[in-house]
Amino acid sequence: MVVRKSRFARLASVLALAGTLTTAAAAEVGPAEKEDLKFGFIKLTDMAPLAVAYEKQFFEDEGLFVTLEAQANWKVLLDRVIDGQLDGAHMLAGQPLAATIGFGTQAHVITAFSMDLNGNGVTVSNAVWEAMKPHVPMADGKPAHPIKADALKPVVQKFKADGKPFSMGMVFPVSTHNYELRYWLAAGGLHPGYYAPHKGDSSGQIQADVLLSVTPPPQMPATLEAGTINGYCVGEPWNQAAVFKGIGVPVITDYEIWKNNPEKVFGVTQAWADKYPNTHIRVVKALIRAAHWLDANDNGNRAEAVKILARPNYVGADPQVIAASMTGTFEYEKGDKRAVPDFNVFFRHHATYPYYSDAIWYLTQMRRWGQIPEHKPDSWYMETAKKVYRPDIYAKAAQALIAEGKLKASDFPDFASETGFKPPQSEFIDGVVYDGRKPNEYLGKFKIGLKGQDKI
Amino acid sequence: MRLAFTNAIPLRLGRANRVEIPWARLVRTTALSMLGIVAFLFLWAAAARNIDTSLGQFPGPAEVSAQAANLFQEHVAERERERAFYQRVEEFNARRLAEDPNYQPKPRQYTGKPTFLDQIGTSLVTVAAGFVLATLLAVPIGIVIGLSQTLYAAINPLIQIFKPVSPLAWLPLVTMVVSAVYVSDNPAFSKSFINSMLTVMLCCLWPTVINTAVGVANVSKDLVNVSRVLRLPWLTHVRRVVLPGAIPMIFTGLRLSLGIAWMVLIAAEMLAQNPGLGKFVWDEFQNGSSSSLGRIMVAVLAIGLIGFLLDRGMLLLQRALSWDKSAILR
């Protein structure tokens, strides 16, 4: 009954639109098929677009009544999206890709909205920092940034010589943090270990110098304090929390590992998107407005965003901890505060656009560390990216916003000519150039990591 | 029959004494319990001052009462936001109706966060549902195996094996089974509610089963013989002889079960992220803000207090339903 009615309603609105053939009408999105939605998130500052879209009533402007719910960890979050308890969620960029290719849980998950750029850091315990410090180049009496993993190498070798394992935490096997931490370690000559899913080994510690293991983000500081891990890579506010609590020192941000790297996405299942196409577009519209609000007036709204995020039902950490990174500074060693204006980017640099080249970068890293156990042709990378990343849905949402006058065309990439590939990027910590169109050639450039026909 | 008489007599004779309230004893116990609480508060405050965590000092009584007040204020503020929300929903519905006369507004739940008091309500409803379900299963099972030595021998090993299983072990199985079996487009209950309820049920079943069985098996042989002489049908036998005789033991089991149910529920909510007090504790732990420990402490005290009240409630019920008014129940 209900279905038939909404279909009828859509037909009616299409007919009405046909009468007034203007560009504005063409961009109009029909009413949401599902008005009551539940989205999941993990307590991290980069869930901000969801909180802002709720608090600023951008969701309600789209006729959506959204409940936001914090989830225990990334696995629970993904499972709940797949089995339908959640309509969608704040996800790691690697999650929809890994789910779709069947590494871990298998399910076709897609994304039409990239939530932010950057926002992560690598923190080591105080003891490790003391041991690292003599190997860190200094400038003006302060450590010269970016700090490379070369400075960590002697510390890890010392651990090895003493017969102790050197362990670090990351948040999930397919998380950006895992790949960034691996990238940083490998660039400094430390092997982060291979996965071998075809042999049933999902520990990711084969041949490893540094043993990486999963810890949920909010528990990172406690786990570091307990001595279970010697360092970790995580999103904010959990690096700054280590500084505030005096239990660790952030050594590098992911902005320095790969400038303006894509971080979280908003993921839904393909089945959900097929069933509720207008709802999906409307969700993306609300999120685009939220992201725009977060970056508007040169981060002018960030102080208000911090207040929202500090509420116990969102991130819930102390406001000064959240503010540290959200307002464009980052504190490394206690007292060593530096300006990192692009530490959290929500909208600038077309941050919300789901680029195919971003998807392919994550796929290359999955191949590099054995999560994709065998060689795949370049065309496979392309097809997979297209299956998961959906700029077409994003474009519909953006055009609707432009038509409504809420945002300007200049806020977005030129949809007519955009290919979904960023030009080759060189701003990585090791200077290796990445061209999304040639994933296998890219893999060949790394000293550490699987390439070509390599197999564990 | 004989038992009922001997009990009725002292009650009637005792009427003259009943008006006398033992003031002296009452004052003494009250004073002693107050003393205990005050001593605890002092010890707590002193200990809290000496415990420094990475989230700041461990919360003392003052910090905790401040947080309790905070939580209540947040509850009031949230209700205010809820009113505003419903106002906006009305406006939205009116707008949609104007655009499309066929639009049917749906009743809509408030989308804001559940407050501490809401979480208490959710936990109480969940524990009640799990406990009632467990009771409906456990009492009949207990009666049946209590009446038949053969069945008891067959089922007892299973009970002994399942009884010590922790909720943490059941939970993943329950979660997976529920998400596979409980599929509906428009579910009456959320999956998380079903998960918590079933976990609670599985864990709190056993004390009632065992105590009911023991109670039933120990019903006075005289009464059983009377029933046999009168050739009472099986159901009447159970209703008139077995149940009244086993009531005290059944309630001992139910009280144990309810205590377990409450403890299990908090653990299940924490682990499975099901709404309720357990989730509140977990969320605050994850937040790791300077007020988190104080808020968790408020929840700990609330959990204890509610557990205590639940137990007292069962005790009152037991007293009201038990025929043996002279038995000492505590």
Q: Is residue B310 part of a domain?
A: yes
Q: Is residue B28 part of a domain?
A: no
Query: What chain A residue is nearest to B180 in terms of C-alpha separation?
Result: A83
CATH number for the domain harbouring residue B319: 1.10.3720.10
Query: What chain A residue is nearest to B114 in terms of C-alpha separation?
Result: A313
pLDDT for B2 beyond 70 = no
Confidence label for A5 from pLDDT (cuts 50, 70 and 90)? very low
Interchain contact A339–B (C-beta under 8 A):
no
pLDDT (tens digit, 9 = 90+) per residue, B240-267?
888 888 888 899 899 999 999 999 888 8
Same domain, B94 and B150: no
- Report the residue of B70, B118, B195, B289 to disrupt the A interface, i.e. the one with the largest count of A CBs within 10 Å: B289
Same domain, B149 and B204: yes
Same domain, B105 and B120: no
Interchain contact A105–B (C-beta under 8 A):
no
Confidence label for A27 from pLDDT (cuts 50, 70 and 90)? low
Domains identified in chain B, total number: 2
Same domain, B159 and B308: yes
Same domain, B237 and B107: no
Same domain, B179 and B238: yes
pLDDT for A242 beyond 50 = yes
Write out residues 79-98 of A within 8 Å (CB-CB) of B: 83, 85
Same domain, B99 and B135: no
DSSP of A320-350: HHHHHHHTTEEE-STT-EEE-TTSEESSGGG
Shortest alpha-carbon distance between residue B289 and chain A (Å): 4
Query: What chain B residue is nearest to A4 in terms of C-alpha separation?
Result: B102
Query: What chain A residue is nearest to B185 in terms of C-alpha separation?
Result: A84
Supply B34's token pair.
Answer: 């107050």
The answer to whether A71 and A349 are in contact (CB under 8 A) is no
Of A13, A31, A318, the CB nearest to B290: A318
- B273, A60: Cβ pair inside 8 Å? no
Nearest Cα residue to A247 out of B281, B47, B52, B286: B52
Q: Which of B88, B112, B136 is the last residue of a domain?
A: B112
b/e per residue A95-118 (b: at least 16 CB within 10 A): bbbbbbbebbeebbbbbbbbbbbb
Q: Is residue B272 part of a domain?
A: yes
**Cβ-based contacts of B91 with chain A (< 8 Å):** none
pLDDT (tens digit, 9 = 90+) per residue, B270-287?
877 778 899 899 888 888
Query: What chain A residue is nearest to B182 in terms of C-alpha separation?
Result: A83
The answer to whether A53 and A59 are in contact (CB under 8 A) is yes
Q: Which of B112, B138, B167 is the last residue of a domain?
A: B112
Interchain contact A312–B (C-beta under 8 A):
yes
pLDDT (tens digit, 9 = 90+) per residue, A143-161?
998 999 999 999 999 999 9
Q: Is residue B303 part of a domain?
A: yes
**Cβ-based contacts of A218 with chain B (< 8 Å):** 285-288
- The three-class DSSP label of residue B20 is coil
Average pLDDT in the B311-318 region? 89
pLDDT (tens digit, 9 = 90+) per residue, A401-428?
999 999 999 999 999 999 999 999 999 9
pLDDT for B296 beyond 90 = yes
Shortest alpha-carbon distance between residue A315 and chain B (Å): 6
Residue A273 has a pLDDT of 96
Q: Is residue B95 part of a domain?
A: yes
Q: Is residue B66 part of a domain?
A: no
Q: What is the mean pLDDT of chain A?
A: 90
Confidence label for A9 from pLDDT (cuts 50, 70 and 90)? low
First and final C-alpha spacing in chain B: 26
Q: Is residue B226 part of a domain?
A: yes
Residue B224 has a pLDDT of 86
Residue B328 has a pLDDT of 58
Average pLDDT in the B141-161 region? 90
Nearest Cα residue to B85 out of B63, B104, B102, B110: B110
pLDDT for A19 beyond 60 = no
- For the A2-118+263-411 domain, the top CATH level (class) is alpha beta
The answer to whether A250 and A242 are in contact (CB under 8 A) is yes
Q: In percent, how much of chain A has pLDDT > 90?
A: 73
Residue B174 has a pLDDT of 87
Q: In percent, how much of chain B has pLDDT > 70?
A: 90
pLDDT (tens digit, 9 = 90+) per residue, A115-146?
999 999 999 999 999 999 999 999 888 899 89
pLDDT for B167 beyond 60 = yes
pLDDT (tens digit, 9 = 90+) per residue, A312-352?
889 988 898 888 878 888 899 988 999 888 888 999 999 99
ipTM of the complex: 0.73
Of B103, B111, B292, the CB nearest to A66: B111
pLDDT for B99 beyond 60 = yes
Query: What chain A residue is nearest to B52 in terms of C-alpha separation?
Result: A245
Average pLDDT in the B112-134 region? 92
User: What does residue A432 show for φ and ψ, rounded to 5 degrees?
Assistant: -70, 135
Same domain, B188 and B95: no
**Cβ-based contacts of A70 with chain B (< 8 Å):** 273, 283, 286
Same domain, B118 and B102: no
Residue type, A405: G
Average pLDDT in the A269-277 region? 96
Average pLDDT in the B11-32 region? 70
Q: Is residue B73 part of a domain?
A: no
Shortest alpha-carbon distance between residue A217 and chain B (Å): 9
- B102, A63: Cβ pair inside 8 Å? no
pLDDT for A3 beyond 70 = no
Q: Which of B112, B135, B165 is the last residue of a domain?
A: B112
Same domain, B85 and B175: no
**Cβ-based contacts of B190 with chain A (< 8 Å):** 85
**Cβ-based contacts of A83 with chain B (< 8 Å):** 179
Write out residues 22-51 of A within 8 Å (CB-CB) of B: 31, 35-36, 43
Query: What chain B residue is nearest to A322 in terms of C-alpha separation?
Result: B289
pLDDT (tens digit, 9 = 90+) per residue, A430-448?
999 999 999 999 999 999 9
- B289, A36: Cβ pair inside 8 Å? no
CA distances B129 to B132, B166, B310, Å, are 5, 19, 14
Query: What's the helix, strand, coil split of chain A in %, to 5?
Result: 45, 20, 35
User: What gap in Å lies between CA A340 and CA A344, rounded to an integer?
Assistant: 9
- B290, A67: Cβ pair inside 8 Å? no
**Residue B86 belongs to domain spanning:** 78-112
**Cβ-based contacts of A222 with chain B (< 8 Å):** 54, 288
Interchain contact A61–B (C-beta under 8 A):
no
pLDDT for A29 beyond 70 = yes
Residue B325 has a pLDDT of 60
Same domain, B99 and B145: no
Q: What is the pTM of this model?
A: 0.80
Of A76, A218, A321, the CB nearest to B273: A76
What CATH homologous superfamily does A120-261 map to?
Periplasmic binding protein-like II (3.40.190.10)
Same domain, B89 and B118: no
